[in-house]
Amino acid sequence: MRPRIECVGTVRVALSPEAALPLFTPEGERDWVEGWEPTYPAGAGAAPGPRELANAVGGSTGPTGARASTEVAARVREPAEVAARAREPAEVAARGREPERGLVFVVGKEGGASVWLVTRYDPAAGGASYVYVLPGHRAVLIDVDLAEADDGDGSLATVVYRMTSLAPKGDAFVRDFEEGFGNFLRGWEEDLRRYLGTLP
């Protein structure tokens, strides 16, 4: 039996839930996750048909333009500019950052690319869900749900990872991920704080 885990944690974001949710989308994460370069087999604005989904998972056409994190320079923006952009969810949506349910995107290079599927994006409820598969390694379901922090200081994102190894080479990764999940989310929080310019 391959290992299967479920990890739950929270991340504080110095924004309202409405303003924070677009940061947890394929395009929104470009701004604060170094090396995150999603590509869209069927384009960014439409749910894929069966042919596009088949090509994304196992066809001859691999992702293009994706770069490893070591090849990507960190994006530097003025804090005021960053905060203004993040606090304008309508503008974010206008730039096409609200993903449709069923949207497929690919992250990584051919041979080591993971295929992602948007299964939920609900701004009214403050939540989003994604499934991704790294063939021959692991399958993952991710839920992100935002709510106002009890102390009124921004919002808290509850993040749930459900991960299953698909092969022996994925077993150790899954176990290590579970052990390091707390540090993983602390890294998210630090990156978001830095991006939003709220670090002292």
How does pLDDT run across 95-130, given as a tens digit for each residue? 456 799 999 999 997 668 999 999 999 999 999 999
In angstroms, the CA 70 to CA 49 distance is 33
In angstroms, the CA 90 to CA 101 distance is 19
Nearest to 193 by CA among 20, 5, 7, 2: 20
What is residue 148's three-state secondary structure? strand
Phi, psi torsion values for 136, nearest 5 degrees: 75, 10
What DSSP state is assigned to residue 128? E
CATH class for domain 4-59+75-196? alpha beta
Within 71-180, residue ranges assigned H as helices are 79-86, 89-94, 168-179
Predicted TM-score of the model (pTM): 0.75
Domain ranges of the chain: 4-59+75-196
User: What's the pLDDT tens digit per position in 153-185?
Assistant: 899 999 999 999 999 999 999 999 999 999 999
**Cβ–Cβ under 8 Å, residues 23 and 96:** no
